[in-house]
Amino acid sequence: DGGITQSPKYLFRKEGQNVTLSCEQNLNHDAMYWYRQDPGQGLRLIYYSQIVNDFQKGDIAEGYSVSREKKESFPLTVTSAQKNPTAFYLCASSPRQGGDTEAFFGQGTRLTVV
């Protein structure tokens, strides 16, 4: 059963703490993406990766970091430098970057600062 798995579903972070959100896909897709969604708003791109060991900053990369050591995995770390991390985080993948390809999404991780 192919798809994108995000974990955990809910995550709580203390002030000054780094946390890592997991995203795994078994669709054999080359491109993967991380988006942030705030209440009542659309998605904003944090980071994206077109191939293994390569990734690019999106529109709101400050305070976040990623890695792409394996094709199927694209973890996102929310660092203490991100001053307003409370949001809903969505991971997506597509067969390749750009072009006429469809994007598939995971079920999201809701991060709350406590």
Partner 1 sequence: KQEVTQIPAALSVPEGENLVLNCSFTDSAIYNLQWFRQDPGKGLTSLLLIQSSQREQTSGRLNASLDKSSGRSTLYIAASQPGDSATYLCAVRGNTNAGKSTFGDGTTLTVKP
DSSP characters over 73-102 = B--EEE-TT-S---EEEEEEEESSSSSS--
Q: Return the number of the residue (18 or 56) whose C-beta is nearest partner 1.
A: 56
User: Does residue 13 contact residue 85 with C-beta atoms inside 8 Å?
Assistant: yes
We find the least distance from the C-beta atom of residue 108 to partner 1, in angstroms, to be 5
Round to whole Å and give the CA distance between 50 and 99: 12
Q: Which of 19, 90, 93, 111 binds partner 1 (CB under 8 A)?
A: 90
Judged by CB, which is closer to partner 1: 77, or 88? 88
Contacts with partner 1, residue ranges (CB under 8 A): 4, 6, 33, 35, 40-45, 48, 50, 56, 58, 88, 90, 92, 97-108, 110
